[in-house]
Amino acid sequence: MRKLYVCFLIVATCQLLTAEEPSPWTKKLEEGVRLQSQGQYAQAETIFAAAVKESEGFDRNDIRKAQALTYLATLHQERGEYSKAQPLFEDALKAVKETKGEGLDYGVAVNNLGNCYRLEGKLSEAQKYSEHAVAVLEKAVGPVHPHVATVRSNLAIIFQTMDQFEKE
């Protein structure tokens, strides 16, 4: 299921990037993703942290801050560093809401935060964010969209895990 989440994040993040020739910004983030996929976490973290710092100088309505925060949060999440990932996902969520409103990208950001809580075992928080993500995404893209199905799948894992804990 972890691979399903990562694919969802990558698809959603790609939607945030333009379809034009990759900018130096995009190339930098792609290099970070390449390094992360090769297990070179320290180098990837350096790139993503620099991107976050650089994004602080961008216009308030520039989505790149949310992108950089999401990449850095995902790196920490992949390493099991949830206490570092969660505030970054929260900041990305705020940045997306400010720049894009409560549409598709916001729903994806809500799901990312919920999934981080799920992976850490904070199931009630995960449930809250995942249910909110379903509602946002259904409103933005309709109930039969693949993103909605992915979030519903994450929500099912939460419920299944909660049920297992109750039986113990």
Higher pLDDT, 3 or 119: 119
In angstroms, how far apart are the furthest CA atoms of the chain? 54
- Mapping DSSP to helix (H, G, I), strand (E, B) and coil, where does residue 160 land? helix
Report whether pLDDT(15) > 50: no
pLDDT at position 10: 44
Taking residues 7-19, what's their average pLDDT?
A: 46
Would the pLDDT of 5 be above 90?
Answer: no
Residue range 133-140: average pLDDT? 96
Give pLDDT, residue 45: 97
Let me know the angle formed at the C-alpha of 134 by 71 and 111, rounded to the nearest 5 degrees: 15
Please state the rounded mean pLDDT for residues 13-18.
46
